[in-house]
Chain A
């Protein structure tokens, strides 16, 4: 649980940056080298590399060690776990609200002991 949460924290923190989101979006279309990733940005290679290190640390991307240009690869599982956490949280609160709505109707339809003690 804690490890998963830590991973989510770092994933969300990594995605809070617009450049890193753009990198992730680019990698969703296929692997790319640092040079290819840097092309759309007015940024130096070391600047891009810094962003890639952040993404690599939280497990969102991986890089092959042996290949000369070390293409970057998007790790879908890390992205999926962040997305499913959001979906799960949304589902729980939506269903909770549904039940609370029903409960409030019941309470107000027949004055309960609870309200009598007000």
Chain B
């Protein structure tokens, strides 16, 4: 199980799951699955708060609830691309954050999921700028490590 990042881009998170690609994909778009894992540790996502309309322009909204104190973290996104079972792209209008999920069939009922997050203003969304952005974050993290 490889966790989190590739060397070239600090904002790519990759994990291999022992499950067929179709099933893993459906977990990412169906509320009855999302409710089991969408909140991080100590945070629940009640199924009735999950709105998923899996088509371009369709909404993807959740409310994550802190188990300890009940604080709520609503998330609001809009789907940009749905290519079942390979690719899923959504954007968060409030922040401009773009999240691309890629599902790769490794054979033998194993699936690699990569989550790539891009958070750059439109003028910087060229491939060159993206590369620069990725390198920047990579070095930035290394640099930050030297500060502490």
**A-to-B contact residues, CB < 8 Å:** 1-2, 5, 8-9, 12-13, 15-17, 21, 24-25, 28, 79, 82-83, 86, 89-108, 114-115, 118
Contact = CB atoms under 8 A, between A and B. Distances in A.
A50 B22 CA distance: 51
B17 A100 contact: yes
Contact of B136 (A21, A94, A107, A115): A21
B19 A107 contact: yes
A94 B113 CA distance: 12
Nearest to B128: A16
Contacts of A118: 22
28 contacts: A1-B94, A5-B95, A5-B97, A12-B137, A13-B133, A15-B136, A21-B140, A28-B143, A28-B147, A83-B140, A83-B141, A86-B10, A93-B4, A94-B3, A95-B40, A97-B15, A99-B37, A99-B40, A100-B27, A100-B37, A101-B15, A102-B36, A103-B37, A105-B18, A106-B36, A107-B19, A114-B30, A114-B33
B51 interface: no
A66 B10 CA distance: 39
Interface of B: 1, 3-5, 10-11, 13, 15, 17-19, 22-24, 26-27, 30, 32-33, 36-41, 94-97, 113, 115, 117, 119-121, 124, 129, 132-133, 135-137, 139-141, 143-144, 146-147
Contacts of A99: 36-37, 39-41
